[in-house]
Amino acid sequence: MTLRLAQVGVVHANGRRALAAVDLEVAAGARVALIGPSGAGKTTLLRVAAASLRPTDGRAGVLGDDPWSLDARALKALRARIGFVHQAPPIPPRQRVVTAVLAGRLGQWSLAHALRSWVAPVDAAGARDALARVGLAERVFERCDQLSGGQLQRVAVARTLYQAPRLLLADEPVSALDATTADTVLRELVAYSESAGATFVASLHAVDLALRWFPRIVGVRDGAVMFDLPATQVTPERLAALYAGEVAADPQRPVESLPHATLPLGSA
Amino acid sequence: MTAIAAVRPSLRDPASQRRLAWAITALVLLWPLGRLADFHPATLLAPSNVKVLGSFLAGYVPPSTAPDFLRELLAATLTTLAIATAGIALAFLIAVPLAIVATRSLSVAAIGPADGRWRGRVLRQAVRTVTVLLRSVPEIVWALLFVRASGLGPAAGVLALAITYGGMLAKVYAEILESADTRPARALLQAGSGRLAALCFGLLPLAADELVSYTVYRWECAVRAAVVMGFVGAGGLGQLMDQAIKGFVPSEASSISLVFFALVLLADGISLVLRKVLA
């Protein structure tokens, strides 16, 4: 079991409760999409899974360990096996693409190796291969501020692919990308998880993408799991209930595409 | 419609009164400070003082170009530059580890395990106290002490600069690093990276140009400080200036002033070039 959350609750430092009594088990190699309205707790859930946020109550097992009973060294080693694609690419604009990608393995490298790579890239070929998977192979030695926002996000994806994690987490990885690129990037992430046998958990805004690429869908609302179903059983009614109230609150979201666009899949 | 016309906003700047109040407060506070500092601009303009200053300044033109003096001037300039550069280099070595420890954005404990957090906080506070201690004593005081201890010469100046400027650099380095976007470094730490690696790959690319330009500016200040320390026996331009003023040789003082100007210009140029290279 890659992920074993039992009765996990999180109260943020400002006193706001983000998660309450969440149970979630994800088997090794499985692919799970988290969907739900904004503010439902998807990001918090992913951070607990990434062993970077300690749950206030309950237990979180990640890759067979309880991160919060490990010593610092073991926790660091555990985190090195977890890849995280952030919503906004956390890459310094003046860094070169090759350096940004190679930074994916900092958790696995010794300090000496990291510093050597900082001075001059030690594995430019590896970086190029990772970039090739997101269609940016020819940009290896460019600076990140010469890329568009979407390209930068693909660099961040390449970094995570280069990291080769056992557990791949992604928080709205494609929300800043156009439809075609979003599909390509998800295909690459899915292909990686299949070829490496890595577990893949992603939160997604676009329900149609979630249904297309993930066999299992977890609906999150108000800090709790509302449903946990195979993609084929996610009906428009369930989606409507999950997103109830969302449309009026945030007309920018492509909600009109939710229940209708998913009809064929939902009824399949 | 009439309602809209009725609420036509007044064009009186609502901020102006507050600004005026602040300006008056500042003046009221500054006045007694000026008195305390014995600041009497009028004494500068007293006839006897004007005469002394005037005759000294009149001797400024032309600057001295006597070959012997110029040779001495060159040697003194090199000594001053050497004091400043060696002092900054040592200060850098002191400051870098302190700054890295003091930077909150590289705190692994912030993402857990949380029990290391108070330990990190205590350590950071201790390092901050050390940097305060280092820079609380002016370099000129250290220089006087070291001149007593190790005799006249540049070594005293280098040590004095290293201590005071080490504290200053550490403080400002840490602040520059903390003001940069923390997300890249945080993301690396979350993926198991160590502090130093996260610093190099996540924080330095964002802060490098500011760090460099601040360091060069501090070098410029160190040149001036090295001059001042020359007055208390640390050698270089300061000592030469001391001789020129005390011996009442305005033409030499004039040449030395020109060198000061050239040195600051040089520092400015270096900073500009480095910033361009990094941008």
pLDDT at B6: 58
The partner residue sitting opposite B184, judged by closest CB among A50, A91, A109, is A91
Q: What is the mean pLDDT of residues A98-110?
A: 94
Give the pair of three-digit tokens for residue A210. Answer: 């979630």
Element (H, E) at A23: strand A17-26
In chain B, residues with a C-beta closer than 8 Å to the C-beta of A63 are none
Q: Any CB–CB contact under 8 A between A63 and chain B?
A: no
The partner residue sitting opposite A72, judged by closest CB among B116, B196, B206, is B116
Q: Do A106 and B181 touch (CB under 8 A)?
A: no
pLDDT at A248: 47
The partner residue sitting opposite B187, judged by closest CB among A86, A109, A118, is A86
Query: Is residue A235 scored above 50 in pLDDT?
Result: yes
Q: What is the mean pLDDT of residues A128-133?
A: 93
Q: Any CB–CB contact under 8 A between A109 and chain B?
A: yes
Confidence grade of residue A246 (pLDDT, cut at 50, 70, 90): confident
Confidence grade of residue A266 (pLDDT, cut at 50, 70, 90): very low
- Which pTM does this prediction carry? 0.78
In chain A, residues with a C-beta closer than 8 Å to the C-beta of B183 are 86, 88, 90
Beta pairing class for A199-203 and A167-171 = parallel
Domain boundaries, chain A: 3-81+167-267, 90-164
The pLDDT tens digits for A192-229 are 999 999 999 999 989 999 999 999 999 999 999 999 99
To the nearest whole angstrom, how far is the Cα of B113 from the nearest Cα of chain A? 7
Query: Is residue A253 scored above 60 in pLDDT?
Result: no
CATH class of the B68-278 domain in this structure: mainly alpha
- CA B167, B171, B176, B180 dihedral sign is positive
Q: Which position has the higher pLDDT, A47 or A1? A: A47
Q: Any CB–CB contact under 8 A between A52 and chain B?
A: yes
To the nearest whole angstrom, how far is the Cα of B83 from the nearest Cα of chain A? 30
Q: Would you list the DSSP string of chain B?
A: -HHHHHTPPP-S-TTHHHHHHHHHHHHHHHHHHHHHTT--HHHHTSHHHHHHHHHHHHTTSSPP--HHHHHHHHHHHHHHHHHHHHHHHHHHHHHHHHHHHH-GGG-GGGGS-GGGHHHHHHHHHHHHHHHHHHHHS-HHHHHHHHHHHH-SSHHHHHHHHHHHHHHHHHHHHHHHHHHS--HHHHHHHHTT--HHHHIIIIIHHHHHHHHHHHHHHHHHHHHHHHHHHIIIII-SHHHHHHHHHHTT-HHHHHHHHHHHHHHHHHHHHHHHHHHHHH-
For every one of its 279 residues, what pLDDT tens digit does chain B have, with 9 covering 90 and above? Answer: 455 555 676 777 878 888 999 999 999 988 888 888 887 777 777 888 888 778 778 888 788 888 899 999 999 999 999 999 999 999 999 999 999 888 877 777 667 665 666 777 888 889 999 999 998 998 889 888 888 887 778 888 899 999 999 999 999 999 999 999 989 999 999 998 988 899 999 999 999 888 988 998 899 899 889 988 888 888 889 989 999 888 888 889 999 999 988 988 888 888 888 878 877
**Would you identify the CATH topology of the domain A3-81+167-267?**
Rossmann fold (3.40.50)
Q: Do B201 and A103 touch (CB under 8 A)?
A: yes
- Interface-testing mutation among B107, B111, B276, with chain A (most A C-beta atoms within 10 A): B111
pLDDT at B274: 84
Beta partners for A221? A224
